[in-house]
Amino acid sequence: MITEAQVLDIAREAIYTIIIAAAPPLLVSLVVGLVVSIFQTVTSIQEQTLTFVPKIIAVFASIMIFGSFILNHITTFMTDLWQNFSVYLR
């Protein structure tokens, strides 16, 4: 039978995996948004849609660059979870 500590460990690992997988695109989006915001402030352009296109392109590029890293972490987590599945059923 699975214990409360094991459930908490699985949940902790799942949250950690989510944070690690989401961090590269989110950080790239943050940096691009900051750069575009500074550009808008300097040029006095207040177009709301100006930030969307560079951000979406940067996020897609970061997913292409960091995709194997993200997939490796998710795959490792799922593999560990499935390998220990019989232990959780006792």
Read off the pLDDT of residues 48-89 as tens digits, 9 standing for 90 and up.
888 899 999 999 999 999 999 999 999 999 999 999 888 878
Instruction: Give the single-character DSSP code of 45.
Output: -
State pTM to two decimals: 0.82
For 1-40, the pLDDT digits (tens) are 888 999 999 999 999 999 999 999 999 999 999 999 999 9
Q: Which domain, by its residues, includes 50?
A: 4-89
The C-alpha angle 78, 2, 89, rounded to 5 degrees, equals 70
Q: What confidence score (pLDDT) does residue 74 get?
A: 97
Distance CA 60, CA 64 (A): 6
Q: Any residues with CB less than 8 A from the CB of 2 and at least 6 apart, and which?
A: 88, 89
Number of domains within the chain: 1
